[in-house]
Structure 1
């Protein structure tokens, strides 16, 4: 892909002469034998296989379904059909005469009608030539009216009524109908645009035709006298005539502006005309005064006119002559972009709903241009969008589109281009015209690269030493800059530690590089320097100097959280508390128990303010071990309760003989072993039947949350309760053998 222009709208040449290096002919012949060693030739990519002709191409069309491209050319006269999904040539077919124009009658390539230069109309199918018929006079253009199934052929010359003709071939009936008679100036050589002989000078003709097939179906015919006649196909009558803007008396007969191209807008209200002087005019059908008037700039006849309804931008007008292509804004008429190929153009075809343009031109290769701002790439070559984006991101790509519209130039591999001033400086001007070592090209000469280097050394023998000293001095200056810059503090808003770390790496790299250069005497191997630069310098450059990563050190949203778990895993040595266990949240069961504890405490406070709050029952995994340590679950739970509930106020009285809770921090096994033997045999405090110790059965009966205090009084087998269901506490001299409430009924 080559960047074709330097304007604000980039145009890429996908196929054509500009995709390869424009080598002179003598150089191309010389290098034919070494093409297999040429990396560019070996890695070449063709958009369409064999999208070319031996001599030139005359017309190109894209099918309605967007999957076929048919083109005609010479030499020998032939037809090429490409299947776009496969990007390949489907078939090539030869014809008896040169093709002037052709139209596709079906949505694909299967039916096509061709206007030949020998006055024949040929119908082609996939099997070959289907039928051919001959017209009375030479045709200039060819269009197809789908509403009436008629092929219209504007022709040169006049009939017996001194009028030009547009032949009508009805494809449904299969015969010629009475043609449209268009005024082209008469039958004499003195009148404006007259002349009846087909091959005579100043012969009148109907040059072009257009049809508004997407709207009202009006027909327009452009003549050699500069007029445009409008015909209605339903009544087969002339509707109106659009004359030239200037009067006929003020115009020269030898340079009269003929209408050479016509195009209707899809709305049917606007018409664009192009004449033989390269003037493009836009009309509203309701007014004979042109809305816009633009010049192509080359004074050559307009060959192609069309409206481009782009999906990405406003409507455009495409006008093309043999020198170039220009695109205009349809509303304002402002110049949008242009293309100037190296060969003459014969026809231009726009691929609908895309930014692709295909051309039929003089020269071997047909051209394909891609304009990203006009539309996306067609679906059969959608990869072009990715290629354009990658080229735009690569700053070193000379073919990429830059914001200022510039691109780097090209040089030949084995030759150097020198002008006369440079030849005199190298004392090579005496070789001009005496030897083939200097090849003339444009305003200078091509000189072999070896000869150019030898001439430079002879002219300046100290050139190599000067270049070596200059390279050493540049590296030393660079090392000094890095040393001075490294002593300063890095001025960034966020992530200062990361910036200082990258700056330290860069300084250390520059110091090692300078030491290596001094050890080697000033000559650093290119491979080692390149490898070191890719390994060390690129991360530093992209971290501190690249604009794409500047937000890391400026935007607070990109600040590194040094207390996060991810940072601790990536930098374990720099985080002091990296080994500290992370606090775990409560499970659903623990949260439910906590809620029950809260409800029970609220019920106790409502019953009696003098009553001391009893300790809730613990789960089996929450009991303390034999060494007095607290389990992790109970520890986290109690800490969570203290954090959520806060301090608890308790009311105590000196008259209340509260029993100290000696076993608060003891396990269940220790409490059971401390009981007397008599109490062990009796089953504790009613916790089971009279069985040997170690085989007790403990049963907990579920009850409602509001009866929690009463359940605790009944089932408190370790004697830890103070009142055992009573409001008056017992004395120390009397002990209860059981806390069963049925004994007090």
Structure 2
């Protein structure tokens, strides 16, 4: 981490160390190339990821629960919300105009009210922009009174009576109430714009506000006249007016000039008040006296932007605590000083101008919104410990252990302070070597080694158990095991569907089920009730124990009730093996035949066997055919009538023959291996027709088509008889034979 202020109270910059004024694009690229050689940039620490804006940041706030940081910036105008336990950006949202300031209405980020520079008040929720309203004049500050649930907006300009106004928006009723009328000296009628709605250049205004929330509940409003007016929200009346100190008026050369009050802050007890003016002067007051207790000069003559009493949230401090500090900031520096004596404690001067400063409660962390790209995060170890959400960042070094004073006392290592370099001071604790830490822990707790050993053994056993291959669950029953496994599988499927439905709903939270889910749940309940009752109910226990209740899967009743279930055991309990079908046998023969094709000797033997088989079958048919025909011709035979009727049948009756798919496969393969000439030579010889034009066709298919015309034959007969003449009939293309077919 970068040490920003190497004084007696060191200040570390843990975010925004490289924040500077924006550079031109060409110079920024050159600077980025040179960063790879910068050791400071290489060793930088980024506490919050994306804790920056494209141009500048306007305001930053920390929620009451300490887990959220909301900040606004530009350009483009947007809102960034960081979740501190994750140290990352939760979401970013764009707005129409630049934000001036905002307040968190809830203990987290869920409700926020934003004052925009175009006079709009915007209410934001996690879902987006909830509502917008507009105030009559430009606002200067924004406060929220929790007791009356009112948003207070001090504004510039005067009303019809010449008084300044603090607009009141009641969030419970949802409407504007009558505002607080504060004396601001009236409008400046001599300057440009005087008498208008927004007022002139030097018109009066209410610049800031403060509320004593944890004490008496008074409201304080700082004006452009340098006065502070106190109002009571219960009676809605002015209680008192605190004027500027006389010493401030006497020191100014111009008697007409009065510095404005730009910042106000009540102490937690409600008895002290701090005011900051436009010339960089800070005064502290006791509420019982108009005389200031202390005067502090910021040193830069810039308006004071923020004032904060750095008191813890507990009841450990009071107004008279000597250790009470005040944080004051302008656009140049942040200073911390003693509230009683005014002595300087520490300070931070960033490289860019500041817009807003926020202190993280009960810690040493300070966040800023500035004119640079990155937002600052400063850590002061002597101011307080690191926030509890920073613990998630892990260890800083691998070979060193960071311990605070409480942990050192538990390990009995406080005796080494100041005597050896084994304890290296760092922030609010010390770095201790890892070996020394382990030795001290073993001495304090000797059983920690055995506990760690048992823990590591148990983790290894659990890891091995997870890597085992688990088989299907077996049901411990004596009889009807198949039925019991079926019921158990059905119950497991129902549980799986229920788990998937819970995952679709997003978790274990109960949600209103839809119509489809209700039907599915009813079906699952109905189907799961049966298996659960049968497997767990004692009344049906003998169903899976007594052999008299064994289910015979080969019975006809079981087949009628379960037509799709194929029995795996017979009546005698012997497991049956399924035989091969005819198709599977043919495929097996084909595979065997295809394996034998590579051997030529086996092919010749098979060919000879096929020819011998054909000869035997042909001889059998020749021997049986005369006897069959003679028997059919006998009058006394019963087939005589059918035989005579079969002669008149036009088509041949089908006959069943025994064939071998292996033989057909061999013949087809041999035919494919022969050439076209071999196939033509193997055909039987045919005598050519005397008057035909067809020749001998060879091939698997033969299509012959010779058209003829009856008219042509008549003409040929006339020509032979001598009655045909060329001039009587003229040949025409339209008389083509193919057209008249």
Q: Structure 1 length normalisation: TM-score?
A: 0.50
Highest Rg: 1 or 2? 2
TM-score of the superposed pair, with normalisation by structure 2:
0.50
